[in-house]
């Protein structure tokens, strides 16, 4: 079964086309790494799939329009750029908003258990009772990941989830994602600038406003595809499949 089908998807901001004519089919249970240069429309694609930006074309999740899908089936971790750190809340409460879809005044014990389980999954159980204002950037990123996991979603949309997380935490994150997929059969779409991480995905989407390549890493991460997407490979030369650094 296809988790995701996209036909002729285009997104326009004023006169500027951020995405043009994107076609994509993602089988259920796939792990798709999305790569492309800055401004390529990667975040815009995830937002369009969630109906967060207006688009032209067709999006189907499990054969249905996004609005007909139970929101609890979808876990989204946006790019975290700014956060009001004076907001008086605990990490576990932010995680629980993924479940309750509002700020909990008092956390029901079932929601507390689920939130703790999700924090454990991302190695952040110890942060549960910590005020958000006292989290580092990487710790806050883990808490947002737990917020996506807490729903036990069937589709996880992750926008550069490893940003700010240390190398050991990053390896842990990929391990958690793999374990979660093996356990639930969920589908993952993950934007990353880490081509090495992309090599471990089942599929890679190379995007630059249009689909430049889509398929298994060895095909999509070919030198030709990456050159078409990035123009030149610069210092990353050698990371493409078949290159000396692969
Ligand atoms: N709300 C908006 N209004 C106007 N332009 C926008 C808006 N959101 C994104 N854009 C533009 O659309 C293009 C694609 O942006 P997007 O954030 O999707 O790129 P990206 O591939 O995720 O980039 P990055 O790797 O830098 O995160 C960019 O040129 C951006 O400036």
φ, ψ for residue 3 (rounded to 5)?
-75, -35
Q: Are 52 and 11 in contact (CB under 8 A)?
A: no
CA distance 36 to 220: 11
φ, ψ for residue 18 (rounded to 5)?
-80, -30
At residue 236, the pLDDT reads: 53
CA distance 50 to 66: 7
- The residues, any chain, with a CB within 8 Å of residue 165's CB and separated by 6 or more, are 138, 141, 142, 173
Distance 93 CA to ligand 1 centre (A): 30
Query: Could you tell me the residue range of the domain that residue 106 belongs to?
Result: 84-153
Inside any domain, residue 218 = no
When divided into structural domains, the chain yields a total of 1
Taking the CA of residue 191 as reference, the ligand 1 atom at the shortest distance is: 22
At residue 150, the pLDDT reads: 93
Q: Are 53 and 117 in contact (CB under 8 A)?
A: no
Inside any domain, residue 133 = yes
Inside any domain, residue 244 = no
Inside any domain, residue 191 = no
Residue whose CA is at the smallest distance from ligand 1 atom 25: 38
Sign, CA torsion 69/71/76/79? positive
CA distance 174 to 235: 25
Inside any domain, residue 15 = no
Q: Are 4 and 60 in contact (CB under 8 A)?
A: yes
Which tokens belong to 5? Answer: 């089908």
Residue whose CA is at the smallest distance from ligand 1 atom 6: 13
Question: Edge to edge, what strands does the sheet with 2-13 contain?
Answer: 16-27, 2-13, 56-61
Q: Is the CB of 18 under 6 A from ligand 1?
A: yes
Taking the CA of residue 44 as reference, the ligand 1 atom at the shortest distance is: 18
Residue whose CA is at the smallest distance from ligand 1 atom 17: 43
Q: Please list the pLDDT of the chain residue by residue as tens digits (246 residues).
A: 899 999 999 999 999 999 999 999 999 999 999 999 999 999 999 999 998 899 999 999 999 998 899 988 999 988 875 566 677 889 999 999 888 867 777 888 999 999 999 999 888 999 999 998 888 878 888 898 899 999 999 999 999 988 877 887 788 888 888 888 999 999 999 999 988 889 889 999 999 999 999 999 999 998 888 888 888 665 554 555 544 443
Q: Tens digit of pLDDT for each residue in 58-116?
A: 999 999 998 899 988 999 988 875 566 677 889 999 999 888 867 777 888 999 999 99
CA distance 201 to 208: 19
Sign, CA torsion 178/53/144/169? positive
Q: Looking at this predicted complex, what is its ipTM?
A: 0.97
Inside any domain, residue 189 = no
Q: Is the CB of 44 under 6 A from ligand 1?
A: yes
Inside any domain, residue 231 = no
Inside any domain, residue 132 = yes
pTM of the model: 0.88
Nearest residue to 114 (alpha-carbon basis) of 150, 89, 145: 150
């Amino acid at each position: 079964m296809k988790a995701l089908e996209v036909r002729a998807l285009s997104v326009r901001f004023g006169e500027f086309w951020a995405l043009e004519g994107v076609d994509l089919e993602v089988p259920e249970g796939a792990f798709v790494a999305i790569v492309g240069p800055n401004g390529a429309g990667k975040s815009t694609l995830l937002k369009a799939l969630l109906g967060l930006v207006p688009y032209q074309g067709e999006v189907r999740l499990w054969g249905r329009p996004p609005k007909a899908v139970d929101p609890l089936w979808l876990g989204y971790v946006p790019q975290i750029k700014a956060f009001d750190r004076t907001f008086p809340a605990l990490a576990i409460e932010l995680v629980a908003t993924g479940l309750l879809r509002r700020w909990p005044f008092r956390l029901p014990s079932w929601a507390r258990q689920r939130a703790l389980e999700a924090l454990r999954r991302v190695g952040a159980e110890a942060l549960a009772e910590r005020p958000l204002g006292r989290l580092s950037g990487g710790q806050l990123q883990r808490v947002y990941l737990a917020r996506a996991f807490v729903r036990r979603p069937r589709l996880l949309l992750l926008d550069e989830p490893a940003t700010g997380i240390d190398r050991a935490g990053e390896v842990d994150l990929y391990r958690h994602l793999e374990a979660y997929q093996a356990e639930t059969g969920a589908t993952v779409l993950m934007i990353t600038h880490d081509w090495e991480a992309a090599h471990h995905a089942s599929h890679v989407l190379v995007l630059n406003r249009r689909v430049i390549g889509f398929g298994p890493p060895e095909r999509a991460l070919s030198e030709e595809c990456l050159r078409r997407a990035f123009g030149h490979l610069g210092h990353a030369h050698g990371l493409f499949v078949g290159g000396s650094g692969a």
